[in-house]
Amino acid sequence: MNLDNRPERADDGRIRFLRCIKCGKEIGCSPVDLLNYMRTGWPQCCQETMMLFIEFDLADGAKS
């Protein structure tokens, strides 16, 4: 997995991206992208629909 191509963190500290479960390819996913995908359909890779992932920085906001 190539972490250098990940999108920058949003103001809320989250990173949104789409990932192919089969090959691990990742693409950034902005809120505008999400709206477009809801209208036109989710991107496909390796003949599968890519999955949305949202990453949180637990060191900054983790609560026990």
The single-letter DSSP state of residue 4 is G
- Tell me the per-residue pLDDT of 8-26, one tens digit each, with 9 for 90 and over: 555 555 667 889 999 989 8
pLDDT band at 5 (very low <50, low <70, confident <90, very high): low
The structure's pTM equals 0.61
DSSP assignment string, 12-58:
TS-EEEEE-TTT--EEE--HHHHHHHHHH---EETTEEPEEEEE--H
Give the pLDDT of residue 59. Answer: 63
Question: Please, are residues 6 and 40 in contact by the beta-carbon 8 Å criterion?
Answer: no
